[in-house]
């Protein structure tokens, strides 16, 4: 899924101008840019929904609005903020900036739903994009949201761009699980890892996204249960989502032998076609997997097994969403894979 807000009514990251809790990461990007030697590719990693895509768009706006790093405006800047009414900001918000390419899962015109992966033909567009003449500023920027949704062919196509980057190009790769990104891609990027937000920052970010004050009891409760994710905070503002999330967490805590009756009840709860319910399930499961990817970072075999489970769960989850497949068998299949991973 996209990093920040895919299943809520909150603004998309390309329209979001406030960033909470990632001042240090933002300074790293700003300092590197105004130093005149910015790496051509950045891997922005961290759990889903914490603001990675928001930071990527923020950087893209700043570079395209200030193409000369030596400009006084850049040298004096204290953040990557660009005014919402700036022409660059308006064009990016309207997906109309010729010097910004965004690689993401696109809508399948036949089904009206998102493709299950970023298509390789879309990734190949980046080759011609970076080979074309840039606008007046001379910069061409690409955002990949998220690199986890590339298949092998797409990864290899992206790798060709990373291996031979043209001058004044910038690639911003968003990843929810940077540890499982292809090593040849990771080695060609400057890595920037973002941590989950504090409860206070998650509440502020969620409140800003929906135009409310961050002091409401519902926002505070959702932020406290969201593990530092803005997207999760927003989804949990729907009361039943909090209950569903707790049921999933309880079953995950029982792995590798979850209660069969509780598993049946969860499968029934996920029935129907409500996208937010499936999104909540995927979000909690991915959080469990991401935690094990981090703790298994020094164990190659364990890391590989968890990465395989991650791939299969998310690929199947996207197919369930795209083709409206039965969810109860999917729940059992997912917990079967998670049980194997837990035993390993």
The answer to the question of residue 263 being in a domain is yes
Are residue 21 and residue 168 in the same domain, yes or no?
yes
Are residue 260 and residue 175 in the same domain, yes or no?
no
Entry pTM: 0.79
Are residue 119 and residue 257 in the same domain, yes or no?
no
Are residue 184 and residue 309 in the same domain, yes or no?
no
The answer to the question of residue 99 being in a domain is yes
Are residue 187 and residue 289 in the same domain, yes or no?
no
The answer to the question of residue 302 being in a domain is yes
Residue 187 CB neighbour total at 10 angstroms:
11
Distance linking the first and last C-alpha atoms of the chain:
27
Highest mean pLDDT among 91-95, 108-112, 313-317: 91-95
User: Strand, helix or coil at 144?
Assistant: strand
Alpha-carbon distance of 104 to 52, in angstroms, equals 14
Q: Is the peptide bond before 146 cis (omega within 30 degrees of 0)?
A: yes
User: Strand, helix or coil at 52?
Assistant: helix
The answer to the question of residue 212 being in a domain is no
The predicted-structure confidence for 194-231, as pLDDT tens digits, reads as follows 999 999 999 999 999 988 888 888 898 889 888 899 98
Are residue 25 and residue 171 in the same domain, yes or no?
yes
Six-digit token string for 69:
């790093």
User: Burial letters for 246-282: b for 16+ Cβ neighbours within 10 Å, e otherwise?
Assistant: ebbeebbeeeeebeeeebeebbebbeeeeeebbbbbb
The answer to the question of residue 100 being in a domain is yes
The answer to the question of residue 39 being in a domain is yes
Are residue 247 and residue 161 in the same domain, yes or no?
no
Length of the chain: 344
Query: Which pLDDT value is given to residue 7?
Result: 45
Helical (H) or strand (E) element with 173: strand 169-175
The answer to the question of residue 327 being in a domain is yes
Q: Which one of 126, 158, 193 terminates a domain?
A: 193
CATH number (domain holding residue 68):
3.40.50.300
Whether 6 has a pLDDT exceeding 90, the answer reads no
Alpha-carbon distance of 281 to 87, in angstroms, equals 39
The predicted-structure confidence for 282-303, as pLDDT tens digits, reads as follows 988 988 898 887 775 557 777 8
The predicted-structure confidence for 237-276, as pLDDT tens digits, reads as follows 876 777 888 899 999 999 999 999 999 999 999 987 788 7
Are residue 51 and residue 183 in the same domain, yes or no?
yes
Is 218 in contact with 242 (CB distance < 8 Å)? no
Are residue 168 and residue 37 in the same domain, yes or no?
yes
How many domains does the structure of the chain reveal? 2
Is 55 in contact with 49 (CB distance < 8 Å)? no
Are residue 188 and residue 60 in the same domain, yes or no?
yes
The answer to the question of residue 209 being in a domain is no
Are residue 43 and residue 120 in the same domain, yes or no?
yes
Residue 195 Ramachandran class (φ > 0 left, ψ -120 to 50 alpha, else beta): beta
Q: What are the φ and ψ backbone dihedral angles of 174, each rounded to 5 degrees?
A: -90, 135
Short-list 219, 229, 242, CA closest to 198 = 229
Please give the average per-residue pLDDT across 93-100, as a whole number. 95
Domain assignment of residue 145, given as a range: 13-193
Share of the chain above pLDDT 90, in %: 61
Are residue 50 and residue 156 in the same domain, yes or no?
yes
């Amino acid at each position: 899924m996209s990093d920040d807000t895919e299943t809520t009514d909150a603004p998309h990251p390309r329209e979001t101008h406030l960033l909470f809790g990632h001042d240090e990461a933002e300074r790293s990007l700003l300092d590197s840019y105004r130093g005149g030697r910015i790496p051509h590719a950045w891997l922005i990693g961290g759990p889903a929904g914490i603001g990675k895509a928001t930071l990527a768009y923020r950087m893209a706006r700043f570079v395209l609005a200030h193409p000369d790093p030596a400009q006084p405006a850049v040298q004096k800047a204290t953040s990557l903020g660009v005014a919402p009414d700036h022409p660059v900001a308006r064009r990016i918000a309207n997906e109309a900036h010729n010097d910004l390419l965004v690689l993401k899962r696109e809508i399948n015109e036949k089904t009206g739903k998102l493709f299950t992966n970023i298509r390789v033909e879309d990734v190949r567009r980046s080759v011609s994009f970076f080979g074309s003449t840039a606008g007046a500023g001379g910069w061409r920027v690409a955002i990949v949201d998220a690199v986890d949704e590339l298949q092998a062919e797409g990864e290899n196509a992206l790798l060709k761009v990373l291996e031979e980057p043209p001058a004044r190009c910038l690639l911003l790769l968003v990843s929810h699980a940077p540890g499982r990104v292809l090593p040849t891609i990771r080695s060609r990027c400057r890595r920037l890892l973002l941590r989950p937000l504090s409860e206070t920052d998650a509440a502020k970010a969620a409140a800003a996204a929906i135009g409310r004050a961050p002091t409401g009891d519902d926002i505070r409760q959702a932020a406290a249960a969201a593990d530092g994710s803005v997207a999760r905070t927003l989804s949990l503002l729907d009361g039943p989502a909090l209950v569903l999330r707790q049921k999933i967490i309880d079953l995950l805590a029982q792995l590798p032998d979850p209660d069969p009756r509780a598993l049946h009840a969860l499968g029934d709860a996920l029935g129907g076609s409500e996208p937010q319910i499936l999104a909540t399930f995927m979000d909690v499961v991915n959080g469990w997997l991401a935690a094990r990817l981090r703790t298994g970072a020094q164990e190659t075999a364990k890391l590989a097994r968890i990465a395989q489970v991650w791939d299969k769960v998310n690929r199947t989850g996207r197919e369930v969403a795209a083709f409206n497949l039965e969810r109860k068998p999917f729940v059992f299949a997912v917990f079967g894979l998670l049980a194997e991973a837990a035993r390993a």
